Amino acid sequence: MKRMITDKKFRNTVLTRLTQAARPINIATELPKEDKDFLTQQRIAFVGGCELEFMKEFFEANGVSCYLTFDHNESPDPNLVLSDFKSGVYAFNPNIVVLSDVQFIRSEIGSIQHNKSDFKSQDDQLEFVKQRLHNGIEKAKTKLNAIYFIMTYPLVIRPAFGRFDYKNLERSYSLREFLNRLESSFYDLAKQDEDLYVLSVNETFLKAATGLQIRENDADGVYEHFTREGAVTISMELVDHLKVVKAHGRKIKCVVLDLDNTMWDGILRDDGVEGINVYENRLTVLKFLTRRGIILAIASKNDSTIEPLVNKVLGPIADSIVIKKINWNDKAQSIMEIAEELNIGLDSVAFFDDNPYERDQIALFLPDVLVLPETELIHTLNRVEFEPVGKLTDESAKRTQLYVEQKKREVDEKTFALDKEGFLLSCSLEIWMREAKDENLGRVTELIQRTNQLNATAVRYSKDELLEFHRSSEFGVYIVNLYDRYGEYGLIGVTVVKKEVDKWTMEILTFSCRAMGKTVEETFLSYLMKEAMKEDVKVLIGKYQKTERNEAMERLFTESNFNKVSTEGGLIIWEFNAEKKGVSAFPKWFKVLNKEKK
C-alpha cells in the first residue's frame, strides 16, 4: 500500500493490470474437465516480472495455486530470488517453477538496438545469464521438489537497423543472432538437467498462428508484454508440456492405418503400383513415430493377395509395420484383433482413414480409439497423445524391432504345440536381474507410465519420485532384462521395494506384456526373495489394486504361492514367508546373467 501511494509508476502499472484483468478471459482458455482436474493438483511459482502476470491469471482461472514474485515486490531476477531462502517461493513450496529472466536481458537487447554492444560483451552476457540461471536452479533444488521451465524472451523482431541488421552490424550480433544464441544456451542447460525444460515463446506463437500475441500499445522493439491472448497461448503450451512431463492423459502406443487414399492417392488394386502417388511425407512421419516407440499396424479392407504390392509401395517402412490386417473384415474387428495381439488397450490406439464412413463406424463401435482423418497424420508429431513418456530410451526406438521379433517367437512357438517347456528350452533364454542404476530410470519411468495389464497397483510414479526411491537407503528399485535367440526384450520388469527389518514391501510391481508366458514374473519374485534373505529378511509383501486390465497380476501372486493376508479398501495385501515355504530355484530354461549381455 505504501508503494501504491509513493510510487506513481508502480501505481499506474497496477491499475492498468487491474483494468485489463476485468475483461473476460478468452474462451480459448476453456479446458477439458480431465485437464482441469489435473491442473488443480499443481502448484506453480512464476519467478520473474510483470511479463508473467497474465499467465498466472490463466492458471488461477483454471484452478491452479500460483505464486508470482512480482506480486510480492520480489526481485525480477530469478537467481536473486532462488538464492534467497527467505523468498516466498520457498514458503509456497511449488512443484512447478517457471523462470523468466527478461528483465535482466532487456538491457542487452536495448544495447543491440542502439548499437552500443560488441561481440565480447554479448558473449560474456550470454554466459553470465546461463550461469546465473544454473546457479539459482541448483540452489532451489536443495529446498524444492519441483520441475523447472525457462521461458524464452518474448519479442517481435523489430530491428532498429533494418531487416538485414545482421549485415549492417559489424561489431556485434544482430537482434536475431543474439536471441538465437540466448535460446540455445537455455537448451544447453536443459540438456544437462533432467528436471529442466524450455518454454519457447516464439515456437509456441508460430504454432498458434492466430491472434495478436504481443501487446502493441507499449511495444518498442526492446521489451514487450503478452496480450491476454498471448498469455493464453503460452499457458496452453505449458499445459501441454506438463501433460507430457507428468504423463497425464491418453498415450498412443499403436497407430493403425488405412491404405488406399490414406497412404497414397489412388486404389492400389485397380491402379497398380504405377498408377498411385505415395504420400512420402506421411511415410517420413511414420518413421519418426517408430523412433518414439509407437507401433505401426494396418487395417485395410482389401484382397489379402495385394500384401506384396503394399510392401513394395511402402518400401523400408513396410518392415516396421508389425501387424497387417489386409482382408474384407470390418475394420473394427481388425482393430480389436490388433489391440489383443499387442496386449494393449483400445484407448492406446489411434486410427487414420480418409473415409468419413469408416471413421464414424470406428468412433461408434470402438469409442475408446482415437479416430482421426488421414490429413492429421502429419500433426501427430505435435500432439501430446503421441509424445514419448519421459526421455526417449534406446528401447523406445527399438520397440518395433522387439515386436517383430515377438511375432517370430509366436510363429515358432506354435510348432511346439503343447510342449511349452521344450519351446522355452529352445529359446536360449538369458535373464538379468539387479538393482537399478541412474541410467535405468528413464526406461523404468516409461515402463511404469505405459503399462496397464501387468501393473499390480496402477500407481504411476514420476521420474523425480523414482529418483528419490533410488537414492534412499529405505527403498530399492529392482529391474529385469531378458534376451533369447531371437533378440533382446529390453528392460521388461521393475519393482520399488520398501525395506524394513522384518519384511520387504513391493510398493509397485510392473512387467511389460512381452514378459508373459516365459515365467519371468515368477523368477523375478524368487530373485527378490533371495535378495531379501541376504539381509536376513524372510517376508516379501505384494500389493494389488484391481483394475479393468490387471487380473493377471492377481494370478501371479496366487501361482507364486503368496497368501492373501488383508484388504485395505480396494488394496489387497499378499505375503510370501520364505521361512515357511522356501524359495524356488530359478527355472532350468533361464541362464542367469550377472552383467549386461554384449
pLDDT mean values, one per 10 residues, the chain (598 residues) = 59 52 48 90 94 92 94 93 96 96 88 87 93 95 94 81 75 90 94 92 71 61 71 84 83 93 90 88 87 89 90 90 91 93 89 93 94 91 80 63 66 64 86 90 83 80 82 92 84 92 93 82 94 94 87 90 86 91 90 80
**Final residue of a structural domain among 214, 245, 276:** 245
Can you give the pLDDT at residue 23? 44
Residues 264 and 143 grouped into a single domain: no
Can you give the pLDDT at residue 43? 95
**Do residues 166 and 177 touch, judged by C-beta distance below 8 A?**
yes
C-alpha span between 238 and 233 (Å, rounded): 9
Residues 173 and 300 grouped into a single domain: no
Residue 376 CB neighbours (<10 A): 13
Phi first, then psi, for residue 38 (nearest 5°) are -65, -45
Can you give the pLDDT at residue 396? 60
C-alpha span between 542 and 442 (Å, rounded): 24
Whether 501 is in a domain gets the answer yes
The three-class DSSP label of residue 571 is strand
The domain that contains 113 carries what CATH number? 3.40.50.1110
Helix (H) or strand (E) holding 478: strand 475-484
The residues facing 435 across adjacent strands are 478
The H helix count followed by the E strand count for the chain is 25, 20
Whether 400 is in a domain gets the answer no
Residues 189 and 307 grouped into a single domain: no
DSSP labels for 17-43?
HHHHHTSPPPGGG---HHHHHHHTT-E
Residues 210 and 260 grouped into a single domain: no
- Half-sphere CA count of 223, side-chain side, radius 13 A: 14
User: In the structure grid, which three cell numbers stand for residue 291, read together?
Assistant: 523412433
- DSSP strand E in 110-202: where? 147-151, 196-199
Residue 5 burial (CB < 10 Å; 0-12/13-18/19+)? exposed
How do 539-545 and 196-199 pair as beta strands?
unpaired
Residues 208 and 151 grouped into a single domain: yes
C-alpha span between 454 and 493 (Å, rounded): 9
Whether 299 is in a domain gets the answer yes
Can you give the pLDDT at residue 189? 95
Can you give the pLDDT at residue 27? 35
Residues 277 and 143 grouped into a single domain: no
Can you give the pLDDT at residue 490? 84
Residues 126 and 201 grouped into a single domain: yes
- DSSP strand E in 181-320: where? 196-199, 254-257, 264-265, 277-278, 295-301
The domain that contains 423 carries what CATH number? 3.40.630.30
**Do residues 317 and 339 touch, judged by C-beta distance below 8 A?**
no
Residues 221 and 263 grouped into a single domain: no
The three-class DSSP label of residue 390 is coil
C-alpha span between 42 and 97 (Å, rounded): 11
Helix (H) or strand (E) holding 373: strand 370-373
Can you give the pLDDT at residue 21? 46
Domain span including residue 87: 2-245
The domain that contains 280 carries what CATH number? 3.40.50.1000
- DSSP strand E in 130-246: where? 147-151, 196-199
Residues 122 and 270 grouped into a single domain: no
C-alpha span between 546 and 552 (Å, rounded): 10
Q: How many domains does the chain have?
A: 3
Whether 442 is in a domain gets the answer yes
Can you give the pLDDT at residue 247? 78
Whether 179 is in a domain gets the answer yes
User: In the chain, what's the furthest Cα-to-Cα distance?
Assistant: 88
Measured distance between the N- and C-terminal CA atoms of the chain, rounded to whole angstroms:
68
Can you give the pLDDT at residue 417? 59
Residues 29 and 71 grouped into a single domain: yes
Report the sign of the C-alpha dihedral through residues 101, 106, 112, 117, in that order.
Answer: negative
C-alpha span between 137 and 32 (Å, rounded): 32
C-alpha span between 145 and 149 (Å, rounded): 14
Can you give the pLDDT at residue 408? 64
Residues 94 and 241 grouped into a single domain: yes
Whether 401 is in a domain gets the answer no
**Do residues 212 and 91 touch, judged by C-beta distance below 8 A?**
no
Can you give the pLDDT at residue 275? 87
Can you give the pLDDT at residue 112? 86
Residues 284 and 152 grouped into a single domain: no
User: In the structure grid, which three cell numbers stand for residue 363, read together?
Assistant: 468412433
Whole-model pTM? 0.56
